[in-house]
Structure 1
Amino acid sequence: MPTSPAEKNAAAPALHWYLTEPGRSVVDFGQLATARSVLRSAPRGDGHPVLVLPGLLASDASTTSLRWFLGRLGYPAHGWRLGRNVGPTRATVDGIRRRLRQVSARHGQAVSLIGWSLGGIYARELAREMPFLVRDVITLGSPYRLHGRAETPAHRVFRLLSHLHIPDSEMPPPEHTRPPLLMPATSVYSEHDGIVPWQACVEPAGPRRQNVAVTGSHLGYGHNPAVLWLAADRLALAPGHWQPFVPPTALARHYPGNATRRVS
């Protein structure tokens, strides 16, 4: 599959977005209070299991708000229980496979995967390796289509940790050379992401996949009200009844372009 113009033009985020990431993440968290009444009416589904994977250098603590919210909606939302994410180490690669099998076996059904940043790249790999265990995939600011080696803060950290990782020969091939996922996939991104280039977080339009833009920071995806609502909306879809995401009126301003790149 050829690379898109957006991927070819992907570059490191602007410096001002990077420098303001911590402060904007706090703002994202503060918006939870004002959106509380709206989030109470978020869609509810069948209560199937969800596995949430954290981003680079993060742990399950970073996904607490997201998992708590999903739990309130009736989903058993599980953390990965592998400590801090320092990249694709042998322990991590084997551990996420084992964790997915455990969660699926415990509930006796397929699992929805939500991955934040690097966690989303893991989620997509799990979905390819074990499609029979994965119901759908939601990625949050995950640069899975990064073409080349854009110098971003995330990549510099990843490179510093590379001596801990599995050999390059075991790394998956570039995303743009592979077919789409077999199950529904939603890619959430922000054009104000200060950590990764947003162009690398989206994929070409196609059946049962959609790219949805939100306002906010990279560090705030896990507690951004727009992301929480979208996750609830996608998880509530019954298998075989996919439809494109439509923002709720009360949160419409948090989805620039009214959920652009929508597919029917």
Structure 2
Amino acid sequence: MTPASAAGLPVMLLPGFATHPARMYRMRRGLRAAGHWVEDWGLGWNLGGTPEQLDRLCARIEEAAARQGRPVALVGWSLGGLYAREAAKRVPHAVAMVVTMGTPFSGDLHANNAWRAYHWITGHDVAEPPVPGDYAVKPPVPTIALWSARDGIVAPRAARGRAGERDAAVAVRCTHLGFASHPRAVETVADQLSRFAGG
């Protein structure tokens, strides 16, 4: 792939729980149209967090940053946003910013309607993840939390977070699944990336 333009950013998309990167193709297409260099996380289906998966992601982020000659913006949907936040804590030198979309990083990890499915697929409770850490702690890079009152799966307060857990919270009128492809979501992410790129 060619490097990002001067006005754009290198961006990595992280899919939500039990989804494949292909589910975010409209987001990818929209961000590329806005002038950003975009790739997916390269790890296939997101079937839950493991230490090995996080290690592989951090390596992928560092490789992408090295290719581009500058840090990468991480855009994570739902569980993908938790991955993005934790990866940014481990390799902040390779991460420009983090944008989460409907990500339950704040408060009770059971504050969503998918925790039973998560438990069934992964074999562990959301409150006892194999990757330990305080997910509410803000990464040491600019961190924007997109949330929706219409989410329907993740509680808005969990995705919005509290002051100090993110730098800004931005409301989007879409469903949880819509974060990956709804025009409002794509437009909002593109706007946040452009604001950052513009300094």
- Shared fold per TM-score greater than 0.5: yes
CA deviation profile, 1:99-152 (whole Å, cap 9, x unmatched): 1112111111100000000000100001111111111111000001142534x4
Unaligned stretches of 5+ in structure 1?
Answer: 1-43, 242-264
Calculate the aligned-residue CA RMSD, in Å.
Answer: 2.5
- Kept after mapping to 2: 8 A contact 1:45/1:235: no
Q: Which residue of 1 aligns with 2:32?
A: 71
Instruction: Report SS of the residue matched to 2:56.
Output: helix
Structure with greater strand percent: 2
Task: Give the stretch that moved more between structures: 124-133 or 92-101.
Answer: 92-101
- Kept after mapping to 1: 8 A contact 2:54/2:87: no
Q: Does 1:61 align with 2:19?
A: no
Q: Does 1:182 align with 2:140?
A: yes
> Judging changes above 3 Å, is the alpha-carbon distance between structure 1 residues 169 and 105 closer, same or farther for their aligned structure 2 residues?
same
Q: Does 1:131 align with 2:77?
A: no
Aligned residue among 95, 98, 119 for 2:80? 119
Aligned amino acid, residue 143 of structure 1: P
Distance 2:75 2:83 in 1: 10
Q: Does 1:109 align with 2:70?
A: yes
> Judging changes above 3 Å, is the alpha-carbon distance between structure 1 residues 192 and 130 closer, same or farther for their aligned structure 2 residues?
same
Distance 1:164 1:204 in 2: 26
Distance 1:191 1:81 in 2: 31
* Higher RCO (CA < 8 A, seq sep 6+): 1
Alignment of 1:33-112 (within 5 A): 46-112=7-73
> How many aligned residue pairs are there?
193
- Kept after mapping to 2: 8 A contact 1:137/1:184: yes
Report deviation, 1:160: 1.2
Instruction: Report SS of the residue matched to 1:78.
Output: strand
Distance 2:110 2:166 in 1: 29
- Kept after mapping to 2: 8 A contact 1:45/1:237: no
> Judging changes above 3 Å, is the alpha-carbon distance between structure 1 residues 46 and 207 closer, same or farther for their aligned structure 2 residues?
farther
Alignment of 1:106-255 (within 5 A): 106-150=67-111, 152-163=112-123, 171-176=131-136, 178=137, 180-205=138-163, 209-238=167-196, 241=199
- Kept after mapping to 2: 8 A contact 1:53/1:80: yes
* TM-score when normalising by structure 2: 0.86
Instruction: Report SS of the residue matched to 2:85.
Output: helix
Aligned amino acid, residue 209 of structure 1: D
Distance 2:6 2:152 in 1: 33
CA radius of gyration, larger in:
1
> Judging changes above 3 Å, is the alpha-carbon distance between structure 1 residues 133 and 87 closer, same or farther for their aligned structure 2 residues?
same
> Judging changes above 3 Å, is the alpha-carbon distance between structure 1 residues 230 and 148 closer, same or farther for their aligned structure 2 residues?
closer
> Judging changes above 3 Å, is the alpha-carbon distance between structure 1 residues 70 and 53 closer, same or farther for their aligned structure 2 residues?
same
Report deviation, 1:162: 2.8
Task: Give the stretch that moved more between structures: 141-150 or 220-229.
Answer: 141-150
Distance 1:163 1:240 in 2: 44
Distance 1:181 1:91 in 2: 20
Aligned amino acid, residue 155 of structure 2: P
Report deviation, 1:91: 4.4
Unaligned stretches of 5+ in structure 2?
Answer: none
